[in-house]
Amino acid sequence: MSQVFILGDFSGEKATKTTTELATAAARIGEVIGIVFAPVGLGASMAATINSGPISKLIVVESNDFAAHGVAALADALSQLVSTQSPVAVLIASHALGKEIAGRVAVETLSGIITDAVDISSDLTATQLVFGGSTTVHSKISHGISIITIRPNSFEADNSPCAPEIENVALVISEKSKKATITSSEPPIKGGRPELTEANIVVSGGRGTDGNFSAVEAFADSLGAAVGASRAATDAGWYPHSHQVGQTGKTVSPQLYVACGISGAIQHRAGMQTSKTIVVVNKDPEAPIFDISDFGVVGDLFAVLPAATEGVLARKS
């Protein structure tokens, strides 16, 4: 059976739900080999956090060059593995790091690349939603190995437990991939809420919150949701940049997106308009965000959200 590589997706030293999603997609195509790139000494413990999804084997590479040289070093290692083992495809999470690794691997292994796939079929046809979700495109890679990045949270993961065989591989990162050096790293600030790109529900606040996110956060917590923000809110320093949704923030596609006090600029829509259901709370009946909402309330978010929060909590108790 042909082999498909998935690049393990980690938050710190722990595999994310996206890793299991990648494995689920890859299993439609062939035998799934997970790749784990770890600092020296952490390979085994990081690999052990990959414990669900149809994965038969993990290839673990330890090197301190990953943390020291970032994208180029990771892409170098992955290209070496791809060149020696010739999988039919490599699936990688579609975020800044994942896409850049994919791009470099495509160049180095003379392979085609597709980014932001939301689905993939057994014959390696990828589905993308382009032009702000208005058009569905199916495409295929015609030369080399299929390098495909998959948008997190696009389909149901197969969460059955797995205990993959572990193979440790030693690699030497070439000098040309060490030209940029990371001198310090700050991980993103994590609250107790779900990750934006992994959450089933996202509640976002914009300029309409006037800097007070408490109503937005309370509603999010009643739904077990992640909290997002428009650029107006992150620029004003009301919410961390890592929570920005949109063109230059994160792309989310949850089951439910609730936009509160957000007007619906094209750059904001670019990051959320493929959400399955969209709910809007906005004072201005003319706000363009209403054009894409399934349920819109023209009203003050400081009145509507607390009442809705109370309603949700009452139903749950």
Partner 1 sequence: MKIAVCVKQVPDSWAQKKMGASGNLDRENVDAVLNDLDEYAVEEALRIVEAHGGNEEGGPHSVTVISMGPARATDAIRKALSMGANSGILISDANLEGADALETSRILAEVIKNSQFDLVLCGTESTDARMSVVPAMIAARLDWAQLTFAGSVTVNADAQTVSISRVTEAGVDAITASFPCVISVVEKINEPRYPSFKGIMASKKKTIETKDLAAVGLSAEVHWSQVVDATERPPRAAGVKITDDGQSGPLLVNFLVEKKLI
Ligand X SMILES: Cc1cc2nc3c(=O)[nH]c(=O)nc-3n(C[C@H](O)[C@H](O)[C@H](O)COP(=O)(O)OP(=O)(O)OC[C@H]3O[C@@H](n4cnc5c(N)ncnc54)[C@H](O)[C@@H]3O)c2cc1C
Site for ligand X in 141-180 (CB under 6 A): none
Judged by beta carbon, residue 71 or residue 162, the one nearer partner 1 is 71
Least distance in angstroms from the C-beta of 181 to partner 1: 6
Which of 27-35, 47-55, 132-140, 155-163 is the region at the interface with partner 1 (rule: CB under 8 A)?
Answer: 132-140
> CA-to-CA distance for 204 and 100, rounded, in angstroms?
28
Judged by beta carbon, residue 16 or residue 244, the one nearer ligand X is 244
Q: According to CB under 8 A, which one of 51, 56, 125, 212 is a site residue for partner 1?
A: 125
- Give the x/- contact pattern for partner 1 in 224-263, rule: CB under 8 A: -----------x-----xx----xx-x----xx-------
Helices (H), 59-109: 65-69, 71-85, 96-108
Structure tokens, 287: 């706000």
Which of 55-63, 133-141, 164-172, 204-212 is the region at the interface with partner 1 (rule: CB under 8 A)?
Answer: 133-141
| Residue tagged 């290839």 (tokens) | 59
Q: Which of 301, 299, 302, 279 is nearest to 290 (CA)?
A: 279
H or E stretch at 308: helix 301-316
SS3 147: strand
257 binds ligand X (CB under 6 A): no
228 binds ligand X (CB under 6 A): no
Q: According to CB under 8 A, which one of 14, 40, 86, 137 is a site residue for partner 1?
A: 137
CA 118 to chain CA centroid, Å, is: 11
If one counts every other C-beta atom within 10 angstroms of the C-beta of residue 42, the result is 13
> CA-to-CA distance for 137 and 125, rounded, in angstroms?
10
303 binds partner 1 (CB under 8 A): yes
306 binds partner 1 (CB under 8 A): yes
134 binds partner 1 (CB under 8 A): yes
230 binds, among partner 1, ligand X, none (CB under 5 to 8 A by kind): ligand X
Judged by beta carbon, residue 148 or residue 304, the one nearer ligand X is 304
282 binds, among partner 1, ligand X, none (CB under 5 to 8 A by kind): ligand X
Q: According to CB under 8 A, which one of 28, 31, 57, 108 is a site residue for partner 1?
A: 108
H or E stretch at 280: strand 277-282
Alpha carbon distance, N-terminus to C-terminus of the chain: 50
> CA-to-CA distance for 199 and 190, rounded, in angstroms?
14
SS3 97: helix
Q: 167 forms bridges with which residues in the sheet?
A: 59
Q: Which residues contact 46 (CB under 8 A, 6 or more apart)?
A: 8, 10, 13, 14, 15, 36, 38, 60
> CA-to-CA distance for 15 and 198, rounded, in angstroms?
13
Judged by beta carbon, residue 70 or residue 206, the one nearer ligand X is 206
258 binds ligand X (CB under 6 A): no
Judged by beta carbon, residue 144 or residue 311, the one nearer ligand X is 311
140 binds partner 1 (CB under 8 A): yes
Least distance in angstroms from the C-beta of 4 to ligand X: 32
| Interacting residue ranges for ligand X, rule: CB under 6 A | 206-208, 230-233, 244-249, 261-263, 265, 267-268, 271, 281-284, 287, 300-302
